[in-house]
């Protein structure tokens, strides 16, 4: 069996086992417990994962181009989402529009994107995946995403306050400050282990959330948002990057990150600002299923001689 196919099978098995485990135990967990786990991940787990990954990759000036691609992909998805709303969603409620835009833009470039990139492409360009995720999270999910959710949700909020209180922002700044400082190997290794533990817990929590869905959103809006997020945007990213002298594996990595399913952050913002939860959780769930179909597509189209 080709090594590439083995890597793909291992990736699928990891995602299915972790998310399936969460789905299986979802009926036995109370929402109050999940609320506290979610808050613990947001305030402790996600910052630790940022530290663990940033401090264990080789950063140089070239990798910051991944951040630019991430910001442009996020902005392009926002523009496409607004065009869709202008044509087909003009009569939707404001919370539905907000959920639609968030799930069209914010990708799970960390907790799903990291395993995908490592399983399929190895460590060579993993720093680019980390920087792509940081830009997606800071400027997108918890940047523009917070502003949109606060503006379109049913609960009034101060977007600037949410931005200032974002622990991921402070963790990223701390990681960049600590990066040039000499650190013992045991500290780097411990942070990396904790970071991967957070990834596994987050995948299981995703399964728990999906297992507790009682009402799915209207599928027209869901499939439209997923079409923008997981098909149109990564296709445009891949086509544009064909004009730049990039290695095939690096181009594929950026396409894969651009095509990740909606992030769990969209659910956090939906619950915090009163958007439409049915649409958000439906997009997250169906997006994970769609990923199993889109991954081979990107491998064939942009894998070059790798696949």
CATH number at residue 220: 1.20.1530
Full domain range(s) for residue 163 = 3-306
Is residue 119 predicted with pLDDT exceeding 90? no
| pLDDT of amino acid 4 | 61
**Spatial CA neighbour of 103 closest among 288, 292, 296, 298:** 288
Q: What is the pLDDT of residues 35-72, one digit of tens each?
A: 677 778 778 888 898 899 889 888 888 898 999 999 99
**Burial (CB count within 10 angstroms: exposed 0-12, middle 13-18, buried 19+), residue 53:** buried
How many structural domains compose the chain?
1
Asked if residue 158 has pLDDT above 70, the reply is: no
pLDDT band of 159, cuts 50, 70, 90: low
Sign of CA dihedral 237, 242, 246, 251: positive
pLDDT exceeds 70 at position 156: no
pLDDT, averaged across the chain: 86
Which runs of consecutive H residues, i.e. helices, occur in the chain?
A: 3-25, 31-40, 46-54, 64-88, 94-105, 113-121, 126-135, 145-152, 159-164, 167-178, 185-211, 219-227, 233-241, 248-258, 265-273, 277-302
Structure confidence at residue 74 as a pLDDT band (50, 70, 90): very high
Lowest mean pLDDT among 25-39, 109-123, 183-197, 230-244: 25-39
More confident residue, 243 or 111: 243
Q: Higher-confidence residue: 294 or 119? A: 294
Identify the residue with better confidence: 256 or 206. 256
pTM of the model: 0.88
Q: What is the pLDDT of residues 225-269, one digit of tens each?
A: 999 999 999 999 999 999 999 999 999 999 999 999 998 788 778
Res. 216 pLDDT band, cuts 50 70 90: low
Radius of gyration of the chain (CA): 18
Q: Is the distance from CB of 26 to CB of 207 less than 8 angstroms?
A: yes
Work out the end-to-end distance of the chain between its first and last CA atoms, rounded to an integer number of angstroms.
13
Task: Pick the range with the lowest mean pLDDT from 99-108, 140-149, 193-202, 210-219.
Answer: 210-219
* Weakest-pLDDT range from 11-20, 26-35, 79-88, 223-232: 26-35
Q: Which of 8-17, 92-101, 199-208, 209-218 has the highest mean pLDDT?
A: 92-101
């Amino acid at each position: 069996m080709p090594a590439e196919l083995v890597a793909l099978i291992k990736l699928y098995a990891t995602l299915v086992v972790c998310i399936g485990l969460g789905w299986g135990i979802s009926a036995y967990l109370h929402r109050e417990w999940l609320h506290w786990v979610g808050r613990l991940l947001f305030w402790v787990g996600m910052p630790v994962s940022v530290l663990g990954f940033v401090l264990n990759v080789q950063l140089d000036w070239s990798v910051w181009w991944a951040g630019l691609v991430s910001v442009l992909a996020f902005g392009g998805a926002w523009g496409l989402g607004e065009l869709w709303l202008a044509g087909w969603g003009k009569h939707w409620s404001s919370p539905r529009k907000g959920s639609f835009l968030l799930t069209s833009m914010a990708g799970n470039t960390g907790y799903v994107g990291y395993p995908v990139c490592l399983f399929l492409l190895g460590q060579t360009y993993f720093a680019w995946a980390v920087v792509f995720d940081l830009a997606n999270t800071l400027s997108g999910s918890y940047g523009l995403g917070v502003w949109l959710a606060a503006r379109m949700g049913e609960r009034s909020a101060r977007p600037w306050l949410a931005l200032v209180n974002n622990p991921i922002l402070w963790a990223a700044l701390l990681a960049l400050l600590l990066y040039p400082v000499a650190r013992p190997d045991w500290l780097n290794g411990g942070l990396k282990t904790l970071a991967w533990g957070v990834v596994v817990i987050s995948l299981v929590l995703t399964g728990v959330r999906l297992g507790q869905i009682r009402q799915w959103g209207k599928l027209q809006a869901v499939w439209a948002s997923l079409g923008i997020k997981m098909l149109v945007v990564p296709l445009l990213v891949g086509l544009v990057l064909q004009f730049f002298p990039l290695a095939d594996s690096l181009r594929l990595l950026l396409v894969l990150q651009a095509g990740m399913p909606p992030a769990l952050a969209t659910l956090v913002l939906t619950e915090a600002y009163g958007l439409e939860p049915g649409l958000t959780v439906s997009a997250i769930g169906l997006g994970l299923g769609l990923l199993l179909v889109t991954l081979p597509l990107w491998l064939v189209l942009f894998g070059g001689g790798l696949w």
